[in-house]
């Protein structure tokens, strides 16, 4: 497979950045990437920290905020949000935007997601390539590396890894504690197109993570932003997608 190229570098602005990157077509080879789960597509691998407009966040000092075992308030969900039981992985977790079955059906073998990532440390590319999909789950090859520089010495080899998940683990990538999560609906435009999304905002301590999950395309969020206090940490956007 060949790597997509981009027009212009990703920037790392100080406030909610807009990525000036365009993926011309990037299907990075067999390799796959630094797990999107580490950035937040959900739960089991590494939880994200989005704070959406929709779920109840307890006020400071309340028993819920202190984690004293109080009953969680029912999430306030945006109109049209799917609220069936199979969207809930646990009683203390906010509903996921997709069920495990929806995610498995939307990520067949051959699907490739390419993301542009702007971080304080520089500009990067993240790719996930679905190489197996069965009743047992999915296998994803992931690749993570810097946007190529004109100076070869500044182009370290990309990091690759393989991730295997059961259907439930796959769904849990978008599962967050209900008391930390707000959910709303928002339409956004990224390099890969325009998407009507469920926006999740998850706040854990001083860290706020925002995810935009496309309503009609189950899988990874098309945009992710991470902040620590007033400091911007990361923005990741979908620049190209190949569906087979």
- In tens, the pLDDT along 2-13 reads 333 233 333 333
Asked if the model's pLDDT at residue 184 lies above 80, the reply is: yes
**Residue 63: pLDDT band by 50, 70, 90 thresholds?**
very low
Mean pLDDT to the nearest integer, 70-78: 55
What mean pLDDT is reported for the chain?
A: 75
pLDDT on residue 75: 52
Mean pLDDT to the nearest integer, 140-152: 85
pLDDT on residue 15: 39
Ordered structural domains, the chain, with CATH:
36-242 (2.50.20)
- For the entire predicted model, the pTM comes to 0.71
CB-neighbour burial class of residue 129 (10 A; exposed 0-12, middle 13-18, buried 19+)? buried
> What CA–CA distance (Å, rounded) separates 59 from 54?
15
For residues 26, 31, 34, 40, the Cα torsion angle rounded to the nearest 10 degrees is 70
Q: Are 210 and 48 in contact, with CB atoms under 8 Å apart?
A: no
Write the CA distances from 164 to 35, 55, 95, 179, integer angstroms. Answer: 11, 30, 23, 29
- More confident: 31 or 73: 73
How many percent of the chain have pLDDT more than 70? 69
pLDDT on residue 61: 32
Residues 6+ apart with CB under 8 A from 145: 124, 125, 156, 157, 158, 159
Q: Which two tokens stand for residue 156?
A: 């370290």
Mean pLDDT to the nearest integer, 173-200: 97
Specify the DSSP class assigned to residue 49.
Answer: -
Asked if the model's pLDDT at residue 18 lies above 60, the reply is: no
- More confident: 126 or 27: 126
């Amino acid at each position: 497979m060949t790597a997509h190229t981009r027009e212009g570098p990703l920037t790392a602005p100080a406030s909610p950045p807009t990525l000036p990157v365009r993926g011309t077509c990037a299907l990075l080879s067999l390799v796959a990437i630094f797990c999107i789960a580490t950035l937040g597509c959900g739960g089991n691998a590494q939880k994200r920290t989005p704070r959406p407009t929709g779920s109840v966040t307890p006020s400071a000092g309340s028993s819920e905020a202190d984690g004293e075992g109080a009953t969680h308030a029912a999430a306030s969900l945006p109109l049209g949000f799917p609220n069936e039981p199979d969207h809930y992985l646990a009683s203390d977790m906010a509903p996921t935007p997709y069920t495990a079955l929806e995610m498995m059906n939307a990520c067949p073998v051959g699907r490739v997601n390419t993301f542009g990532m702007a971080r304080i440390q520089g500009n990067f590319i993240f790719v996930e390539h679905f190489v197996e999909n069965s009743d047992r789950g999915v296998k994803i090859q992931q690749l993570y590396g810097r946007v190529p520089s004109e100076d070869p010495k500044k182009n370290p080899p990309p990091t690759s890894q393989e991730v295997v998940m059961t259907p439930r683990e796959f769904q849990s990538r978008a599962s967050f504690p209900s008391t930390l999560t707000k959910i709303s609906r928002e339409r956004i435009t990224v390099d890969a197109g325009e998407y009507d999304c469920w926006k999740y905002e998850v706040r854990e301590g001083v860290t706020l993570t925002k995810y935009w999950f496309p309503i009609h395309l189950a899988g990874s969020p098309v945009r992710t932003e991470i902040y620590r206090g007033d400091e911007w940490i990361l923005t990741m956007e979908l620049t190209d997608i190949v569906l087979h």
